[in-house]
């Protein structure tokens, strides 16, 4: 019999941040091998390749376990949910899981972050199930460079997915990880995309995450430099901030001939936004993580599978919120000192 949990809303951490947002990494599996996400392995002893070992199916939380966690988190006041991965659309049964999520009372919306490869196939059903907001990761507008960055020849599938989502009326955000010497020559091209289509383009600083990450200081490009390049296209005016925008600093871009678009800048390294962070993450391994850039985690899977009660799970969620750090370590180290990874957790499992 399900225990009755007292509703407490909102949840506030020790630094007066309201925690209303839970991110679920449904799987660490992905149909791409992006150079900043997947760990490097060595093939034949010398050639670095992307493709770390995936978790076994039994190592993932089941959909029933995930629904239980979400139900309890919602009872505490977390009314916003984002599904991430890996690539969430590669997990079998994900659409039925989303259908069940929308049956949970108190959950206001479910958002999805995807690489877009399967989006053309799934967009219609996602929309019918109630999803309205999609974040799509796309780091280049060139098919050949897409292969270099992702290790796969799927650029045209991604563009077809974006077209399908736009046609259905999804609210779209394109996430672009900016990397000097790799795709920084396309920054203004992405700005023009925001002028041409009804979507937001958000530039994200390259983060040092993962023990075998391909992060290099020489590849880092600060959000302020990106913003200066975008400003060559037209005037940037601060966009009225909405809570749903998360950590992005949003701007309206207006050209001399009257074109308008929306761009954003996410700067975890050069311009910290920790004081505004309102989220917890549940990794694909079933670990509750209060900060993307800190390896401190609580093992919810062990609690779920060890007979933990609803009250014990709620207590674990509350404790994770109380333990949420004020900021990540780069606030002390500085970007120029970050010669190695800030955290060793694998991005494809954390669900960045």
Closest listed residue to residue 273, CA positions, set 206, 323, 328: 328
In degrees, rounded to 5, the angle at the alpha carbon of residue 243 between the alpha carbons of residues 141 and 162 is 25
- The pLDDT-based confidence of 6 (bands split at 50, 70, 90) is very low
pLDDT digits (tens, 9 = 90+) for 271-302: 666 666 777 899 999 999 887 666 778 899 99
Contact 249, 332 (CB under 8 A): no
What does the pLDDT read at residue 323? 82
According to CATH, what is the number of the domain 11-350? 3.20.20.70
Q: Where are the domains of the chain?
A: 11-350
Residue 169 DSSP code? T
pLDDT digits (tens, 9 = 90+) for 62-120: 999 999 999 999 999 888 999 999 999 999 999 999 999 999 999 999 999 999 999 99
What does the pLDDT read at residue 36? 79
What does the pLDDT read at residue 214? 57
What does the pLDDT read at residue 299? 94
Is pLDDT of 176 > 50? Answer: yes
What's the rounded Cα separation, in Å, for the pair 291 and 352? 10
What's the Rg (C-alpha) of the chain?
Answer: 20
Task: Note the residue count of the chain.
Answer: 352
State the pairing for strand pair 249-254/260-266.
antiparallel
SS3 of 259-286 = CEEEEEEECCCCCCCHHHCCEEEECCCC
What does the pLDDT read at residue 73? 94
What's the rounded Cα separation, in Å, for the pair 85 and 105? 24
- The pLDDT-based confidence of 306 (bands split at 50, 70, 90) is very high
Closest listed residue to residue 265, CA positions, set 298, 238, 285: 238
What does the pLDDT read at residue 27? 95
Instruction: Give the residue-averaged pLDDT of 33-58.
Output: 66
What's the rounded Cα separation, in Å, for the pair 211 and 217? 15
Instruction: Give the residue-averaged pLDDT of 134-144.
Output: 98
- The pLDDT-based confidence of 41 (bands split at 50, 70, 90) is low
Is pLDDT of 192 > 80? Answer: yes
pLDDT digits (tens, 9 = 90+) for 311-344: 999 999 988 888 877 665 554 444 443 444 455 5
Mean per-residue pLDDT of the chain: 84
């Amino acid at each position: 019999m399900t225990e009755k949990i007292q509703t407490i809303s909102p949840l506030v951490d020790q630094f007066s941040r309201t925690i209303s947002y839970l991110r679920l990494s449904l799987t660490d599996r992905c149909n791409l091998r992006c150079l900043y996400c997947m760990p490097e392995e060595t093939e034949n002893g010398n050639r670095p390749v992307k493709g770390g070992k995936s978790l076994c199916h039994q190592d993932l939380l089941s959909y029933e376990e995930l629904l239980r966690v979400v139900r309890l988190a919602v009872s505490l006041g977390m009314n916003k949910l984002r599904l991430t991965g890996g690539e969430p659309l590669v997990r079998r049964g994900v659409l039925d899981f989303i259908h069940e999520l929308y049956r949970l009372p108190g959950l206001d919306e479910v958002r999805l972050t995807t690489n877009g490869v399967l989006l053309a196939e799934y967009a219609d059903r996602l929309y019918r199930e109630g999803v309205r907001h999609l974040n799509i990761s796309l780091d280049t507008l060139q098919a050949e460079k897409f292969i270099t960055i992702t290790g796969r020849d799927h650029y045209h599938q991604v563009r077809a997915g974006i077209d399908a989502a736009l046609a259905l009326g999804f609210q779209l955000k394109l996430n672009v990880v900016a990397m000097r010497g790799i795709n920084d020559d396309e920054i203004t091209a992405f700005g023009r995309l925001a002028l041409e289509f009804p979507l937001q383009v958000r530039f994200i600083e390259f983060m040092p995450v993962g023990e075998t990450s391909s992060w290099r200081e020489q590849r880092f490009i600060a959000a302020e430099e990106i913003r200066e390049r975008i400003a060559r296209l037209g005037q940037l005016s601060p966009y009225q901030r909405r809570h749903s925008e998360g950590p992005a600093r949003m701007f309206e871009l207006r050209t001399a001939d009257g074109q308008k678009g929306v761009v954003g800048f996410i700067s975890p390294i050069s311009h910290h936004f920790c004081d505004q962070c309102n989220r917890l993450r549940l990794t694909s391994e079933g670990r509750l993580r209060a900060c993307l850039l800190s390896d401190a985690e609580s093992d919810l899977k062990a609690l779920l599978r060890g007979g933990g009660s609803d009250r014990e799970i709620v207590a674990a969620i509350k404790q994770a919120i109380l333990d949420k750090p004020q900021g990540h370590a780069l606030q002390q180290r500085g970007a120029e000192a970050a010669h190695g990874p800030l955290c060793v957790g694998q991005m494809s499992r954390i669900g960045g």
